[in-house]
Amino acid sequence: MRIGEAAAAVGMTTKTIRFYEDRGLLPPPERSANGYRDYAQDTLSRLEFIRRSQIAGLTLAQIQGILRVRDNGVTPCSHVRDVLGKQLVDLDRQIAELTALRATVAEHYATAEAADPECCDAEQICSYV
């Protein structure tokens, strides 16, 4: 299976597949006599796993870690559980940060709504921020 077929099969571009290979998420594939990449069927599962993982918010580095465990012959279950756990903590932190930021911005916005047009003196550029 050539790279274009693989790409079409999973809905990625050939660029992306070469990029994953470059980043170590895909092993270097067989080559046909003409030098074209020749993918086995299981590459498709691997690409789909990558996409599922991305949808779950994992970075390519994290996905690579999981695939490396799998490629070492170990079932990556516990590793995946750890990664997902870290991901949860990280997401909670990000959400908390954004929520705090939202409160700050909302406060500024409320001030801006309530103030009169004589708000800004040139000294501090704008008193709303």
Partner DNA sequence: CTCCACCTTCCACCACAGGGGAAGGTCAAA
Partner DNA sequence: TTTGACCTTCCCCTGTGGTGGAAGGTGGAG
Helices and strands per DSSP (H, E), number in the chain:
5, 2
Compute the radius of gyration of the chain from its Cα atoms.
24
Q: Minimum distance between the CB of residue 44 and a second copy, rounded to whole angstroms?
A: 10
- Which residue lies nearer to DNA by CB, 55 or 114? 55
Q: Minimum distance between the CB of residue 7 and DNA, rounded to whole angstroms?
A: 7
Residues that bind a second copy in the complex, under the rule CB under 8 A: 42, 45-46, 48-49, 52-53, 55-58, 66-67, 70, 75-77, 80-81, 84-85, 87-88, 91-92, 94-95, 98-99, 101-102, 104-106, 108-109, 112-113, 115, 117, 119-120, 122-126, 128-129
- List the single partner that 5 binds among DNA, a second copy, none, CB under 5 to 8 Å by kind: DNA
User: Among 42, 82, 28, 41, which residue's Cα sits nearest to residue 58?
Assistant: 82
- List the single partner that 30 binds among a second copy, DNA, none, CB under 5 to 8 Å by kind: none
30 bridge partner residues: 38
Q: Minimum distance between the CB of residue 1 and DNA, rounded to whole angstroms?
A: 9
The tokens of 58 are what?
A: 């994992």
Give dist(CA 72, CA 60) in Å, integer. 18
Give dist(CA 89, CA 67) in Å, integer. 22
- List the single partner that 10 binds among DNA, a second copy, none, CB under 5 to 8 Å by kind: none
Q: Yes or no: say if 20 and 51 are a contact pair by the CB < 8 Å rule.
A: no
